[in-house]
């Protein structure tokens, strides 16, 4: 059974940023999972549209609209009632509502909540993720590991290059970061490169 992946705007952009002869990482992910997102995320992606992304029509077909409640009602029930709709993390909040509704209505397992917004995940989503343990939380680096394991076109060299390039792309904000955040970013890069090495030992090196 294929995973269903609810992806946020930041991850959608980041996975589009790395391209090689078989397409972008986003393109390869499309081949392996069912990608979904909220209408708000679709709107946000449209503001950052890149020619390497799926067309507007194709992207719109991936929008999931909740059935049990609308996004506003979900937000009142899940998050702080005082949070305004126009405040930060709206795309991620709507994505979480869509993902929860998808699970409750269709009872599908294998759900991924994909986001590169560390501040949001470590903030607004700690309690909801604990209250509704229905998904695995990924970032774009986890996606690279998944594609390395499951996709024949992603090699060790491609995975390592993708991790380094994605890390460099995210590092454009380092001037705005304090040293501690930069340190965490560097530690994350080392961690995922080590994960690639471990996968290499298991899957690709013979007579190890």
How far is the C-alpha of 12 from the C-alpha of 110, rounded, in Å? Answer: 19
Can you tell me the mean pLDDT for 53-62?
94
Can you tell me the mean pLDDT for 151-172?
91
pLDDT digits (tens, 9 = 90+) for 103-133: 999 877 799 999 999 888 888 888 999 999 9
Residue 43 has pLDDT above 60, yes or no: yes
Phi and psi of 12, rounded to 5°? -60, -45
Residue 84 has pLDDT above 90, yes or no: no
User: pTM here?
Assistant: 0.92
Whole-Å CA distances, 130 to 55, 114, 117, 136: 35, 16, 18, 11
Residue 100 has pLDDT above 90, yes or no: yes
Phi and psi of 183, rounded to 5°? -60, -40
pLDDT at 145: 98
Q: Which is it for the CA torsion 149, 62, 11, 112, positive or negative? A: negative
pLDDT at 150: 94
CA 48 from chain centre, in angstroms, equals 16
pLDDT at 183: 87
Residue 79 has pLDDT above 90, yes or no: no
How far is the C-alpha of 160 from the C-alpha of 158, rounded, in Å? Answer: 6
With a pLDDT cut of 70, the percent of the chain lying above it is 93
Residue 157 has pLDDT above 90, yes or no: yes
Can you tell me the mean pLDDT for 173-184?
72
| Cα angle, residue 64 at apex, residues 93 and 23 outer, rounded to 5° | 95
Taking a C-beta distance cutoff of 8 angstroms, is the pair 42, 59 a contact? yes
Give one DSSP letter per residue of 104-159, joined into a string. HHH----EEEE---HHHHTTTTHHHHHH---EEEE-HHHHHHHHHHH-TT--HHHH
Residue 172 has pLDDT above 80, yes or no: no
Please, what's the b/e burial string for 50-65 (b: 16 or more CB within 10 A of its CB; e: otherwise)? eeebbeeeebeebebe
pLDDT digits (tens, 9 = 90+) for 5-22: 999 999 999 999 998 887
pLDDT at 86: 62
pLDDT at 173: 60
Q: Where are the domains of the chain?
A: 4-142, 152-203
């Amino acid at each position: 059974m294929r995973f269903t992946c609810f992806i946020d705007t930041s991850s959608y952009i980041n996975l589009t940023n790395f391209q090689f002869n078989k397409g972008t990482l986003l393109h390869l992910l499309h081949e392996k999972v069912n990608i979904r997102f909220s209408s708000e995320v679709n709107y946000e992606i449209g503001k950052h549209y890149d020619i390497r992304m799926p067309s507007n029509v194709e992207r719109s077909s991936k929008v999931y609209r909740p059935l049990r409640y609308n996004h506003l009602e979900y937000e009142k029930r899940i998050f702080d009632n005082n949070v305004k709709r126009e405040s930060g993390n709206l795309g991620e909040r709507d994505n979480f509502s869509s993902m929860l509704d998808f699970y409750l209505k269709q009872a599908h397992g294998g759900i991924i909540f994909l986001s590169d917004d560390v501040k949001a995940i470590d903030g607004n989503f700690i309690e909801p993720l604990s209250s509704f343990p229905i998904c695995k939380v990924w970032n774009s680096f986890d996606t690279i590991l998944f594609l390395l394991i499951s996709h024949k076109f992603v090699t060790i060299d491609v995975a390592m290059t993708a991790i380094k390039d994605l890390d460099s792309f995210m590092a454009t904000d380092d001037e705005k970061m304090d040293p501690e955040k930069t340190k965490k970013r560097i530690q994350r890069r080392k961690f995922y490169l080590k994960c690639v090495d471990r996968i290499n030992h298991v899957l690709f090196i013979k007579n190890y």
